[in-house]
Structure 1
Amino acid sequence: MANANIDFNYGGIKMKIAVSAAGKTIEDLLDMRFGRCEYFQIHDTESGDIKVLENTGQKASGGAGIAASNQLVDENIDIIITGNLGPNAFEIIEKSGVKAYKCSSIVVGEAIEKYKSGELEEIKMSGPAHHGSN
């Protein structure tokens, strides 16, 4: 589904941006809990389409970040916008060549605009492990 509310013109750069989200629309909040978020929204800058995935790791008793990371790597994403990445998730993301950016809990559309304007900080080290916590 295309969305006219976000300008996906990234200077001709084609990429897939995944956002950890509490809901399925750009008006929903970014979820700070990468491994335990309910959804991932994948925004395609070439087509303007948004693909929504249920996070396979959200209900895992352990290894939620690992499951979530692998799910996104399998989707061939280029960028992740989230709150924090635990050590295992960070390692998978880093080894895959995907770049992750830290954002506060704001609406998804605003988070993407902040990324686009260079306002988000790249995640260069993992946050704490949460071991099954919500």
Structure 2
Amino acid sequence: MNDFFRGLGSVCLGTLAGAGLGAASFFAIEAVLPKQADAAPAHTVTKALKHEPKLSARQTILEANRHLIANGWRPAPEKTPTPEERRLSSVALESLSVCSSTGVGFCRFDYRRDLQRLSVLTVPSEPGRPSVGRVDRWW
């Protein structure tokens, strides 16, 4: 019987040690990872960043693209869009990465400037139909 309790004590101590390590890992990760406000999309943060692109919600992707190109951003799609995605976006921009054919119909356009990356998400200007997208958010 003593062996049983000794074994049980080892299991309990091992479990407590594991829980302590888990808690320590959690708090270490919590200290390193950015807070939710820091991880928010660029246009939702009140403090303007030094190199933040000057985009506006609801402007067309054509307007946003002109502005971005003029400010040193270059098309850098992470994926190659399908012909159907090109049709849904209604634009021939090199930056198009992907479009959703279901739901809202979001399209994502990707850019790069030096080591910075930027993704711009649009919604159709005419919901339910292929149409030039309007900027919804960016990060």
Instruction: Give the TM interval when normalised to the shorter protein.
Output: under 0.3
Greater helix share, structure number: 2
Higher RCO (C-alpha under 8 Å, 6+ residues apart)? 1
TM-score of the superposition, structure 1-length normalised? Answer: 0.27
* Structure (1 or 2) with the larger CA radius of gyration: 2
